[in-house]
A and B are shown apart, each in its own frame.
Chain A
Amino acid sequence: MDYLIQIIVSGLTLGSMYALSAVGLSLVWGSFNCLNMAHGSVMALGAYFTLIAVDSIGFPVWVSLPFAMVGGALVGTAVYYLSVHWMLNTRNYETNIIIATFGIGMVMENGLLKIFGGYPYAQPLTVQGVAGLIGNVPVNYRSIVIWVVAAVLMVALGLLLTRTRAGRAIRAVAQNRDGAKLMGVPVARVYVQVLMLASLLAAVSGILISTTLQIVPYMGANPLLKAFIVICLAGLGNILGALYAALLVGLVEASASTLWAPQYGFPVILVVVILALIWRPEGLFGRVMVARQ
């Protein structure tokens, strides 16, 4: 029984962190059918932004979160103007953008390495202590904060996409790029907004991940791969599906780590997801729940 509770608690925590980054990646895919390989480095940048805000500038800790979110959004804009902007109308633009954003990610990651060194830092924006026990399993305040932050941002994103003008434009572009263009939606502006939004979420995801581990320049590589796996499992571009798939992947990883050994978490996820994809090549939730055709 304790095992089960342990799996659910740590699975939900992992799942919440994956969901934030995966939803961003999925949003980008939904809008222009491309993977943003710089997404992982944006996560790392987000974590470093809090570090800069607190240690270098001396902001109070709670200001560092909005600081990092704004920073993330600006980086997203830069990613747009450095890659997508030039490539949308070229042949094989999907592959070109993947490789270009891969290059951008390399530059960011190694830039961080150059500036901060490979030395791991602790995330200043964190809470300590145990909130209580469920059965015999301790639940940290940190886990609760992660759940709350993820839930609040997910709900906010949902409201943004369904209730606001900008959100409706994003969904229109995701459904039909040409149609949206004909209806007068400024497609290029929507792309910038999508990358800003996705990068903002990635920055927060990076901060949350760094509260459980440490801040290092290459910390985004592993979460990026997991976010990638999550959106493939969900069905590319399916945003709600990405949320469910992230929780599922978190639970699978927590099960493998708890019942077997921590280092087997990742291989087990891969094997499970590959089998799932061979069974359903379009992802578990397919494109039914997305707006895309």
Chain B
Amino acid sequence: MMRRDYILSAVLLVIAVGLPWLDPPRYLLAQGLLLFCWATVVSQWNLVFGIAGIFSLAQIAIFAVGAYSTAMMGRYLEMNLWYAFPIAGVIGVIFSLLIGLGCLRMRGVYVALLTIAVGQVLFVLIMGDGECSPLNPGICMSFTGGPSGMGGFGGFGWREVLGGRHFIIGDYYSMLGLLILAMAFTFWIIHSRMGLAFKALRDNPELASSRGISRFKYQLLVFALSAFFTAEAGAFFAAHFGSVGPGQLSFTLLLFLISMLIVGGMGRPWGPLLGAFLIMGGDEFLKEAGEWRHIGFGVMLLVFMIFLPDGVAGLIDRVWRRLTTRGGAARAGKAAPAE
């Protein structure tokens, strides 16, 4: 089990690191970079939703907070973005911790509501920011850039080092580095004592608390820990594109990311990466189909929920188990719903 993980990591790493040396089209590098970005976000979402079982949809808002805080530090404080990145991460953690505090007493879909609402409030605030102040009609100062977004805050700085033609390779490796750190972090958490607490609380909160696990503590911990790399992904996203906008809070992005989580396999360590790859690949394919793209996504979600609720990673796991434990007790996972 663990050996399989190491081999898989090594193979994927060789492919990802090697890709730029094959002189691929620029488009492929740009898409690869995006893949790393979304896989980072989804891997952290998986920690909250898949591992800890908290139905939070705040990940998009945390991503946007990371992106916007980086942009603002670059624009207003004229900071080198590499200094802004860790600060953006910390801001994301604090933001997520506040959401976690608000959600503490709620369960299930109430958490989904509150976390969707947080994103919506941010969206409305940013969209309304472009208008002139009703108190001082002469001043039209927009702090966040309003509906059209903001730019002009710099980037990774690879353009200066590698030149205009090759800077994307620098961006590519930066994002890859982030994904590697995020994945390593996720594996570390999942297999640690803390990860066991998350899973216990997910499976049976009452039993977990009478075995000595504090829901208060671990719920706040998972909100805080999953926020850092999510905000960081937002920060890197902003640095790569050189602009941020309210589109990062849209339902379309939410749908896109949740599809990755579902198709990949919720609660499985490799699920997010697999899901990001499949969805981005499928999206590439559906781009030809024009307006059918969203219909295709909807049908896919439905089909997966009916036939493969534990995603492709779940399917692979089951096949693997059947192969390794000859005729073993690896039964397909159908059981009565909890409680």
| Residues of A that sit less than 8 Å from B by CB | 35, 82-83, 86-100, 102-107, 109-111, 113-114, 221, 225, 228-229, 232, 236, 263, 266-267, 270-271, 273-274, 277-278, 281
Contact = CB atoms under 8 A, between A and B. Distances in A.
Given A83-B302, A91-B309, A100-B302, A232 B116 contact: no
Contacts of A107: 295, 298-299, 302
A111 B293 CA distance: 11
Given A83-B302, A86-B305, 19 more contacts: A35-B109, A82-B302, A87-B306, A91-B309, A92-B338, A100-B302, A102-B298, A103-B297, A103-B298, A103-B301, A103-B302, A110-B294, A221-B251, A229-B117, A266-B124, A274-B117, A277-B113, A277-B114, A281-B107
Nearest to B53: A92
B288 interface: no
Interface string B297-323: 111111001100100000000000000
A281 B302 CA distance: 31
Contacts of B160: none
10 contacts: A87-B309, A92-B309, A95-B55, A98-B112, A103-B298, A110-B291, A110-B294, A232-B113, A267-B120, A281-B105
B333 interface: yes
A96 B125 contact: no
Contact of B291 (A82, A114, A278): A114
A172 to B, nearest CB: 20
A232 B109 contact: yes
A263 to B, nearest CB: 6
A100 B300 CA distance: 9
Nearest to B128: A263
Nearest to A106: B298
Given A95-B55, A270-B121, A277 B302 contact: no
A102 B121 CA distance: 21
A94 B108 contact: yes
B258 interface: yes
B106 A91 contact: no
A229 B298 contact: no
Contact of B294 (A92, A106, A232, A271): A106
B335 interface: yes
A83 B305 contact: yes
B305 A91 contact: no
B70 to A, nearest CB: 25
Contact of B120 (A105, A114, A270, A281): A270
B102 interface: yes
A91 B297 CA distance: 23
Contacts of A94: 108-109, 337
B309 A228 contact: no
B211 interface: no
A99 B337 contact: no
B295 A106 contact: yes
A35 B112 CA distance: 11
B109 A236 contact: yes
A83 B301 CA distance: 11
Lowest 3 A-B CB distances belong to which pairs? Answer: A106-B298, A103-B301, A107-B298
A99 B294 contact: no
A267 B121 contact: yes
B336 interface: yes
B117 A103 contact: no
B334 interface: yes
Contacts of A270: 117, 120-121
Contacts of B255: 102, 106
Nearest to B335: A91
Nearest to B290: A114
B83 interface: no
B113 A229 contact: yes
A281 B336 CA distance: 27
Interface string B120-133: 11001100100000
Interface in B178-225: none
B334 A113 contact: no
Given A83-B302, A100-B301, A91 B110 contact: no
B105 A278 contact: yes
A277 B301 CA distance: 30
A192 B217 CA distance: 41
B305 A96 contact: yes
A95 B109 CA distance: 9
Given A89-B334, A105-B298, A232-B109, A266 B305 contact: no
Given A99-B262, A232-B110, A91 B55 contact: no
B106 A104 contact: no
Given A96-B309, A236-B109, A281-B106, A102 B295 contact: no
A86 B306 contact: yes
A273 B305 CA distance: 31
Nearest to A108: B298
Nearest to B299: A107
Contacts of A91: 309, 333-335, 337-338
Given A221-B251, A270-B121, A281-B105, A114 B295 contact: yes
Contacts of A267: 120-121, 124-125
A97 to B, nearest CB: 8
A83 B125 CA distance: 36
A91 B251 CA distance: 26
Contacts of A106: 255, 294-295, 297-298, 301
